Structure 1
Amino acid sequence: MPTPPRHVVHLIYRFTTGGLENVVVQLINNLPHGEFRHTVVAITDADHQFVQRIERKDVNVICLNKPPGQPFALYPKTYRLLRRLKPDVVHTCNLAALEFMPMAALAGVPLRVHAEHGMDMGEINTKGSRYLTLRKIYKPFVHEFIAVSKPLQGYLQRKLGVAPAHVHLIPNGVDTHMFRPPHAQDPAPPGFPFERDRHWVIGTVGRQVHIKNPLMLVDAFIDLAQSSMDGTERLRLAMVGDGPLLGEIAKRVRAANLEDRAWLPGVRGDVADILRSLDCFVLPSLSEGTSCTLQEAMATGLRIVVTDVGGNAELLEHGACGSLVPSGNVEALKLQLLQQLRGSGHDQAAAALNSARERHGLSVVMQQYRELFLGRPRSVSAAAARHEP
């Protein structure tokens, strides 16, 4: 008699455009369909357009519609839901979802896995003491932890006190077939206003929120565009994504009279095509785990400039695959962009492309998650060791 597929419930705060949410979609679409089935439980809500990225037709997306405030009022509803779903695995991401792990334990879920993808603004602003205390409270309800970068792995082991055997370093993966260097015959994405070769396009993809610090890139672009230095007349800016800072971004661009040189299309479903239309990718974040969009830019063969936070340096092999600048330092970002505009960065881009293909392909990452969700954590650790640089 064939073994029924293991039921994985992915419990996350909101199911919308974002890095950790993209990982959940990758898991659903790429883990062997005969071995796993999936349910997504969004603590708040889900974006209908983002849900369409799920290719399987047997996946339910359930929204708990949590109001602002503490999670405890939703505990009974979550417990009843998990008792009804009877998952083999509950997979939570980041602190907001970790707070619901006691209900998974109470519901008798056999395997409880928690993934840390990075810190939020609250943790950065308070130096994380309160959030560390919360994680310590919920730690006993988790069997296995995932860290997407070495800094997060160290945090879980040293700060949280998780035994090394139960912390699994699994960086995010990238689909190197979808995200690839451009071909001469590739058409421009719909609505893309700039011309290849004539313009030099700096771009980023992500949520326009404080922790991603998009205003650092906007300010650097405005200063360079208004500088009259040789070559800067070619500069153009593309910022893909939505969020509370989008209005401020548009306001600063408008005040600088650069509206015809900046493109702010909001959320897009054709990110791979847009990345192939850029010349340089910038990630100005205040905090990162392993950035999915950075990996996608690497697989596209772009010149790259990022802030030296979280897992960025590790991903770029400490400068071999792209340039690192201090977080919040607009002058340093301007200098790097100017150097890239004037021709540097080709070797780094080639190294980034090779690294994405060799170290961060989806097949490697999916196998590690597969082993973990099947209850074989030692196999995960061995696989991670084999792919250490």
Structure 2
Amino acid sequence: MVVSYFHPFASGAERQALAQGLELVRRGHSVRVITRAVPGYPIPDEDHRGVQIHRWIRTWDRGPLFAVSFVSGLVRALRRLRGELDVIHTHQALWEAVAAGAARPGLSGLPTLVQPASSGYYGEAQELLRTRGAPLLRRAILRNTHFAAISDDIAREWLALGVPPGRLTRTASGVDTDVFHPGPSLVEADLLPRPRAVFTGRLHPQKNLPLLLNAWVEVARRSPANLILVGPGSDREALTALAASLGLADRVQFVGAVPSPAEHLRAADLFVLPSVAEGMSNSLLEAMATALPCVVSGVGGNTDLIAPGATGVLVPEATPEAWSGALLTLLENPDEARRLGRNALARVEAEFSLRAVVDRYVGLYRELIARAG
């Protein structure tokens, strides 16, 4: 597996790679992860619960030198390990995919599977088109053996970039239903009173949290509900100031980073995700597995997971009025909210459990290995 950062540094793609890696190890497979060296974390090689982590990619911080150093470092790492690998799976699709494509001539036919992490402005396809030298980089990326799209939106973007339909498989992210499930919470007493809406994830511009805070003004005026924001991020200070300026200081709680959001999800009454772009959100899958009714933006992989009126609510307009209306509808109709949560849980158990998703990836790995001879 190839991913830019990895345990203990984690956001969406990293968390999914770790979960899948641990499940593969549980089944008896050997999993190696090639990732970046992290300043101040002086462990180049680590065994994390059976997953072998190699922090071998040393990079310059930014600009063209970052790209050159990342690609050259990853090419060297792949060639160093080629005799011990059956398949290479990148969990991101810009510089990781460029390097995997560039390395292929020296990999003795080893199959490479490229999996973009997201779509839209923050996705790799659009980032590629904004990058200097995009035509050359695109050619390197298309040298990879196969592509995996975790949402319909990602599939459309990469087919438009020239990936042949026969070399792209629709896949999905998975959630560990042994960890994320309904039940009592151990953090109930630490949170603002119910009813509670919870957001879990990075406090980052991609998540569009100022929109949620502006919508919460009307929610707070018309209901006793409180908003709980769980996760780290560069936007926390600005969001805290915005909440105070909107008169929400006593109705919004910033929890910060937690090892796992499972307990906070079990302490919630609904889940909210106003992102401007998503691949297939781990946070949304975790909330669905906890049987929470979910109110999410109609973007990316959100539209693959949420069937309006069946497994949750898609908000098509990025306006405070649309969001406050959607949230209040569920807060004022708890029976409907519980129905949506039960349906969301049933869909996750049937289609998106970690075991089911890894089953599909193992099948794809075996197919690619067989084709490679």
- Structure-2 change in CA distance of 1:331 and 1:112 (3 Å): same
Match for residue 356 of structure 1 among 342, 348, 361: 348
Give deviations 1:247-288, integer Å, cap 9, x for gaps. 111111222343333221222113111100111100101011
Unaligned 5+ runs, structure 2? 42-46
Q: Which amino acid aligns with 1:69?
A: G
2:63 is the counterpart of 1:69: yes
CA contact (8 A) 1:41 1:63 kept: yes
Change (3 A) 1:303 1:58: closer
Matches within 5 A, 1:183-198: 183=184, 186-188=185-187, 192-195=190-193
Distance 1:95 1:246, change over 3 A: same
C-alpha separation in 2, matches of 1:125 and 1:12: 16
Question: What amino acid sits opposite 1:25 in the alignment?
Answer: L
Q: Deviations over 1:135-172 (max 9, x none)?
A: 63223321010000122223222x02322222111111
Counterpart-to-counterpart distance in 1, 2:260 and 2:339: 27
Q: Aligned partners of 1:26 and 1:47: how far apart in 2?
A: 25
- Residue 338 of structure 2 corresponds to residue 346 of structure 1: yes
- Residue 258 of structure 2 aligns to a residue whose secondary structure is coil
Decide whether the 8 Å contact of 1:152 with 1:289 is kept in 2: yes
Match of 1:291 among 281, 302, 312: 281
Does the Cα contact within 8 Å between 2:89 and 2:114 map onto a contact in 1? yes
CA distances 1:25-58 after superposition (whole Å, capped 9, x unpaired): 112110155652222222464997xxxxx85245
Asked if the contact 1:91/1:112 (under 8 Å) is kept, the reply is yes
Residue 217 of structure 2 is aligned to residue 222 of structure 1:
yes
User: What residue is the counterpart of 1:90 in the other structure?
Assistant: 88
What residue identity is the alignment partner of 1:116? Answer: P
Flag the 1:136–1:30 CA change in 2: closer, same or farther, 3 A: same
TM-score, structure 1 normalization: 0.82
Report deviation, 1:376: 4.4
**Residue in 2 that maps onto 1:255:** 245
- Shifted more, 215-224 versus 234-243: the winner is 215-224
Cα–Cα, structure 1 residues 46 and 127, in superposed 2: closer, same or farther, change >3 Å?
Answer: closer
Please show how residues 323-338 of structure 1 align to structure 2 within 5 Å.
323-338=313-328
Contact 2:311 2:343 in 1 (8 A): yes
Q: Which runs of 5+ in 1 are unaligned?
A: 1-9, 49-53, 380-389
Answer yes or no: is 1:205 the counterpart of 2:197: no
Cα distance, 1:74–1:286 mapped onto 2, change above 3 Å? closer
Counterpart residue number, 1:37: 30
CA contact (8 A) 1:94 1:118 kept: no
3-state SS of the aligned residue for 2:49? coil
1:146 pairs with one of 139, 145, 148: 148
Residues in 2 aligned to 1:312 and 1:47: alpha-carbon distance in whole angstroms? 36
Q: Distance in 1 between matches of 2:259 and 2:76?
A: 35
260, 264, 269: which one pairs with 1:270? 260
- 1:377 Cα deviation (Å)? 7.9
Task: Indicate the SS of the match to 2:2.
Answer: strand
Structure 1 contact 276–300 (Cα < 8 Å) conserved: yes
Q: Which amino acid aligns with 2:96?
A: A
Partner of 1:369: 361
Question: Sequence identity, in percent?
Answer: 26
Mapped to 2, the partners of 1:58 and 1:349 lie a distance apart of: 34
Deviates more, 1:325-334 or 1:369-378: 369-378
Mapped contact 2:57–2:77 kept (Cα < 8 A): no
CA RMSD across the alignment: 2.9
Residue 163 of structure 2 aligns with which residue? 162
TM-score between the two structures when normalised by the length of structure 2: 0.85
Change (3 A) 1:77 1:64: closer
1:321–1:148: structure 2 CA closer, same or farther, 3 Å change rule? same
The question of whether the paired residues in 2 share the 8 Å contact of 1:79 and 1:106 is answered with no
In the aligned structure 1, how far is the partner of 2:78 from the partner of 2:204? 32
Aligned to 1:136: 138
Q: How many residues align?
A: 355
User: For the residues of structure 2 that align with 1:318 and 1:100, how far apart are their CA atoms?
Assistant: 40
2:44 aligns to what? none
* One-letter code aligned to 1:59: Q
> Which of 297, 300, 308 lines up with 1:307 in the alignment?
297
